[in-house]
Structure 1
Amino acid sequence: MESALPTPGLSKAEGQATVEAQNWKLLKYFNFYRLAIAIAASAIAVFIGKYSPFGEVHPGLFLSSSVVYAIISLTAVFAIHWRKPDYESQATLLSFSDITLLTIVMHASGGLASGLGLMLVVAIAGTSLMLGKRLTIFYASLATIAVLLEHSWSWLTGASGAENEMMQGFPQVGLFGIGLYATAFFGYLLATRLRATEELAQRRGVDVANLTQLNELVIQRMQSGVVICDPQGSIRLINQSALKYLGIHNEADKKSSLNEISPDLAIQLFQWLGNNAVNRGRKVFTSPVGYTLLPRFVSLGDKNAVKLIFLEDMAILKQQAQQLKMAALARLTASIAHEIRNPLGALTNAAQLLGETMDTDNAEEKRLVKIIEEQSKRMNVIVQNVTQLSRRDRINPVQLELDSWLEDFLRQYSETVSVPRDAFVADDIHDIKVCVDPDQLYQVISNLCQNALRHSPPFTGTPLIKFQGGRDGEDRPLVDVIDWGAGVNPDIADNIFDPFFTTTPKGTGLGLYIARELCEGNGASLNYYPGEGGVGSRFRVTFVRAEDCAELGTL
């Protein structure tokens, strides 16, 4: 049997199941037609008797064949419902019963002259739709032979005068046989076209479904928040980023009104929908869970169509802009530092040679040479600090357990600066996970510790630096580096992060500047706060959430 191919885009088993279901449905509907004409013929034979041309020649044969046909059709209803035996067996047997019993009914009603041969044409048409090419031709041939036998029956049984009547009816029988073959051919051709059309429609449906699924997957994985709602503010679709930004955790809230989830965003949407051009500008707002967001509105169609809202995290936007700026600045400063380092090295070597050849009794010359050497060393430190900025845009963020990382850092750092480990204490650092580049974090914390130790008294057993963990109002992890030294003069507190700003003669003024730039490159922030009671300083590093580490790594 030939049937529709499995649908592309579906598995082989799913495609076969779809084709099988369609075949059974076609067989069931055609059996309803078969049952209807069988019951109608049986009713005419039982309740009406002779009703030209039905059963006009052989009433008893017409009655018995109609009843048998009705019984077979009724039995087929249950067999098709239970699908036993298989489809091809049932279709083949029922097609055979159609040709056999309809030929007998036609014979009992006067042969082709009764007009009931048209039911054979319908039976062959149904066979061409349900069975393959070979079986369709076979049953068309069988029906033609059956009609020839029916037409020649009187002559075969030896009836008087049947020969002349038979010869006169052969042209009609021949044309009817041609009609049966034509019906089989065109029916099979139509069935093939229908299967091809249905296959194409299914393929297009699968393509559309796959494209819809792909679009949904892309939208769900977007870094920007996406919200689709109607002009009344009812949410139709919302992606994962928007769920996180707006603090939606329950399935029921996904279909809530925008006004219930974020009133600030709803107000901006309605202002944008209004005719007041002054109120249609985008404004930054803070979500209920602390994200600072910038919305962008797009209308999909006319004013009554759904509205598309993009939500951008301002922290990520600022970080992207900062990284672009610093990438260009890093390339510039690296090239400048490279150009300075070569003549600086020549000056240092010349000063050393000059010191070796000058008169040892000339104190003024010694002082000048010493000035050259010291300032050359200072310039070399500045060049080294500047080259560190070239690494600021190359980050490798990972999730860190802050307590274990800090313990390793303090062990290494205390050995490096020859300060006892007891000079450092940590509080509330446990269970804090951050997203940051470990190497750049080491440089930031070491710079802060270096500044704190420079302005703190010598270690006498009392801790000099304290690391205090916690979380800010937006639930982002943070750590405070606290010292009890001289602190920062309030008059210069706003300038301590400026490049080349320093309060010590030997300082470069780049330590805090580089530390802040490295923090911003990791999506973090570095801020200064006065110590409690005006004593000491507090530098706060606020990190990216550990769960947002994947987004930071894509920037």
Structure 2
Amino acid sequence: MNTPSHWFETGDKGSSTWETSHELGSFGRLWHAFMTARVAIATVLVILQAFIYALGNITNRWSIAVCIAYLFATLAVRLWAKPRPPGSTFDAQWLSTIGVDVITFSALNFLQSGGINYTPLFALPVLLSSILGPILLAFGTAASVTLLLLADAWWNWLQALGDPNARFLQSGLSGSGFFLVALLANHLALRLAREEQLAKRSQSAARMQTQVNELVIEALADGVLVVDINGIVRSANPASRRLLAAGDSVRSAPFILAAENTWQPLAELMHRTFAEQSPQEADVSLNTPGGHTRRLHVRTRLAASPNGTHESLCVMFLEDLREMEARVRTEKMAAMGRMSAAVAHEIRNPLAAISQANALLEEDLQDAGHRQLTAMVRQNAQRLAHIVDEVLNISRAQAQLPAAQTSTLPLDDAVQKIASDWAGQTAASARMRVTLDSDNAVVGFEPEHLRRLMINLLDNALRYASDGAHAIDIATQVVTPGQARLSVWSDGQPLEQTVQTHLFEPFFSSESRSSGLGLYICRELCERYGALIGYQRVQRNGTDGNEFFVVFRPSPQFPNTPSPSFATMPT
């Protein structure tokens, strides 16, 4: 605990005019101003004493020595002392300022060199103690000055120099004036200190609010641009930079909105906002250099200064129309999903009746052709029953996955058969290549579900692949002992970042006519059997393309093989 030396102690730690802080602010500026004033007064006193000495009117040479010593003392304090608020105490630093001033001016007033009255100089230490110290210190300084003036008047009365009544009256009036100056100056200093603290708190709150606003804007899914009247983007959040990205380049603010031809529709909307001084809303298309068209829904708001002291800013909100349409489709498909669940419930009973009637009919048929027809009815009824069960499973949105299946199959044989059947149905044999290199590893997967998984991935690859040879590549391989990997690659264009973000979500598709359920069903099937599905952009035979890969759960022969994890797979 620090125990400072002091003259006056009030016991109230909050009674000082200035709070102790590392940033002295107004206190530091006032302290330096007073110290400079003391140096200036000391310099004037030395010059004045020298002038009086030159005229031969000086009667006591000690006054010159006092003024020179005072000048050196003020210079030393000004150059080397550091400002420190006194709190409720009076320490050695204030003895070197107020104490020196009071003693110096009292000595000059006592010596009365050249007949000059030095009483007005006492206002400096009184003001210094009133503004930079607590009220008790100010009153103590005024009281000490008043007592010194009265003592000087009493000494002069003893020396029978002049009228004593006039000197006592002048000392009393001067002391009263010093008390009044101390009171008023201290109140003004207190008010200034409170205003400074209030301003600091307001600035701190404003900075905190600014940080909160920046965090909120940075986390927004919609793009936000702040543009001035000259078309310079002052601020851009990550979502807007992603939407405005031209190729692989991403601009960071500040930048000129009209710098890219792709952004011209946004620049025109910004100019219209400033010209009409009103918010604007429009759907715009940005043609990227890669040949893609990004459609955005843009809303603008004008942030205008109420008194015209600051420039106006245009705030632009950017939203990807594809994501908006995907949300609308999601809502529609969710409603359709609920309806599908109800329809599936209604289909179950007629389907069971059809299956039962077909079985009874099949018992009485002897003709091979008729029995073949009933077999087709039976197979398709079973297939419809599987579809109904899957629709009901998806609609229930069960929190837990079904129990692991015990069915296994050799991967290479199953992939070869499914790929051959699909190529025959789509006439894509010339564009497809199959590479089987998993040593016919055994994976835990239902054959019908693996078929659905591959058909969805192959249909998706065919939709975006070129017409060249080997535009679609199907491959199997062994990742680790007992763990196999299946990949479907096509030489299509790279997927945009927004598409990759929602790739396996239900009802999301880059095409308006697609339901967006294909990849979602693939993910659900993989999760059901403990497999991992993912996407990456890779190169095959010198050509970049899109690869969807499935890493299967380790086979039972290798129980210690780690399960597939997103953290260990390429992205």
Shared fold (TM-score greater than 0.5)? Answer: yes
Q: Which ranges in structure 1 are unaligned for 5 or more consecutive residues?
A: 7-15, 397-410, 430-440, 453-462, 480-496, 500-511, 527-539, 544-548, 550-555
1:344/1:380 contact within 8 Å kept: no
Counterpart-to-counterpart distance in 1, 2:75 and 2:229 = 57
Counterpart-to-counterpart distance in 1, 2:400 and 2:241 = 28
Q: What secondary structure, in the 3-state scheme, does the structure 2 residue paired with 1:283 have? A: strand
Distance 1:326 1:293, change over 3 A: same
Q: Which ranges in structure 2 are unaligned for 5 or more consecutive residues?
A: 1-12, 306-310, 420-432, 438-448, 461-471, 476-486, 501-511, 525-532, 536-545, 550-565, 567-571
Q: Which residue of 2 aligns with 1:321?
A: 328
- Shift in Å at residue 73 of structure 1? 1.0
Distance 1:188 1:513, change over 3 A: closer
Q: Which residue of 2 aligns with 1:473?
A: 493
Task: Kindly provide the amino acid, as one letter, of the partner of residue 17 in structure 1.
Answer: H
Q: What secondary structure, in the 3-state scheme, does the structure 2 residue paired with 1:223 have? A: coil
Q: Which residue of 2 aligns with 1:42?
A: 46
- Which of 380, 387, 396 in structure 1 is aligned with 2:385? 380
Post-superposition Cα deviations, 1:308-338, rounded to whole Å, max 9, x if no partner, equal 2333234433332222222222222223323
- Shift in Å at residue 204 of structure 1? 0.8
Counterpart-to-counterpart distance in 2, 1:3 and 1:145 = 25
2:108 is the counterpart of 1:99 = no
Q: Which residue of 1 aligns with 2:212?
A: 214
Q: Which residue of 1 aligns with 2:33?
A: 29
Post-superposition Cα deviations, 1:340-389, rounded to whole Å, max 9, x if no partner, equal 44x4587489869x95xx9987989x999999977764553342243255
Q: Which residue of 2 aligns with 1:333?
A: 340
Task: Kindly provide the amino acid, as one letter, of the partner of residue 146 in structure 1.
Answer: L
Counterpart-to-counterpart distance in 2, 1:268 and 1:516 = 34
Alignment of 1:145-294 (within 5 A): 145-155=147-157, 158-160=158-160, 165-247=163-245, 254-260=253-259, 262-270=260-268, 273-274=271-272, 281-288=282-289, 292-294=294-296
Task: Kindly provide the amino acid, as one letter, of the partner of residue 319 in structure 1.
Answer: A
Q: What secondary structure, in the 3-state scheme, does the structure 1 residue paired with 2:191 have? A: helix
Post-superposition Cα deviations, 1:53-99, rounded to whole Å, max 9, x if no partner, equal xx98855343232222211111212213699x999532332110111
Task: Kindly provide the amino acid, as one letter, of the partner of residue 473 in structure 1.
Answer: Q
Task: Kindly provide the amino acid, as one letter, of the partner of residue 178 in structure 2.
Answer: L
Counterpart-to-counterpart distance in 2, 1:216 and 1:473 = 35
Distance 1:299 1:59, change over 3 A: farther
Counterpart-to-counterpart distance in 2, 1:297 and 1:464 = 44
> Which moved further from structure 2: 417-426 or 40-49?
417-426
1:137/1:184 contact within 8 Å kept: yes
Post-superposition Cα deviations, 1:366-414, rounded to whole Å, max 9, x if no partner, equal 9999999777645533422432553789999xxxxxxxxxxxxxx9997
C-alpha RMSD over aligned residues: 5.4
1:272/1:281 contact within 8 Å kept: no
Q: What secondary structure, in the 3-state scheme, does the structure 1 residue paired with 2:40 have? A: helix
Q: What secondary structure, in the 3-state scheme, does the structure 1 residue paired with 2:315 have? A: strand
2:222/2:318 contact within 8 Å kept: yes
- Shift in Å at residue 28 of structure 1? 1.7
Counterpart-to-counterpart distance in 2, 1:394 and 1:322 = 23
Alignment of 1:385-396 (within 5 A): 385-390=390-395
- Shift in Å at residue 101 of structure 1? 0.8
Task: Kindly provide the amino acid, as one letter, of the partner of residue 309 in structure 1.
Answer: M
Counterpart-to-counterpart distance in 2, 1:329 and 1:124 = 86
Higher RCO (CA 8 Å, separation ≥ 6 residues): 1
Alignment of 1:450-529 (within 5 A): 467-469=487-489, 472-476=492-496, 514-515=517-518, 518=521
Counterpart-to-counterpart distance in 1, 2:363 and 2:450 = 45
Q: Which residue of 1 aligns with 2:127?
A: 125
> Which moved further from structure 2: 243-252 or 292-301?
243-252
Task: Kindly provide the amino acid, as one letter, of the partner of residue 258 in structure 1.
Answer: L
Task: Kindly provide the amino acid, as one letter, of the partner of residue 456 in structure 2.
Answer: L
Alignment of 1:384-463 (within 5 A): 384-390=389-395, 415=409, 419-420=413-414, 445-448=453-456
1:228/1:309 contact within 8 Å kept: yes
Q: Which residue of 2 aligns with 1:553?
A: none
Post-superposition Cα deviations, 1:15-63, rounded to whole Å, max 9, x if no partner, equal x2113x6544322210111111111111011024499xxx988553432
Distance 1:359 1:152, change over 3 A: closer
Counterpart-to-counterpart distance in 1, 2:18 and 2:452 = 68
Q: Which residue of 1 aligns with 2:144?
A: 142
Counterpart-to-counterpart distance in 2, 1:293 and 1:395 = 38
Distance 1:240 1:191, change over 3 A: same
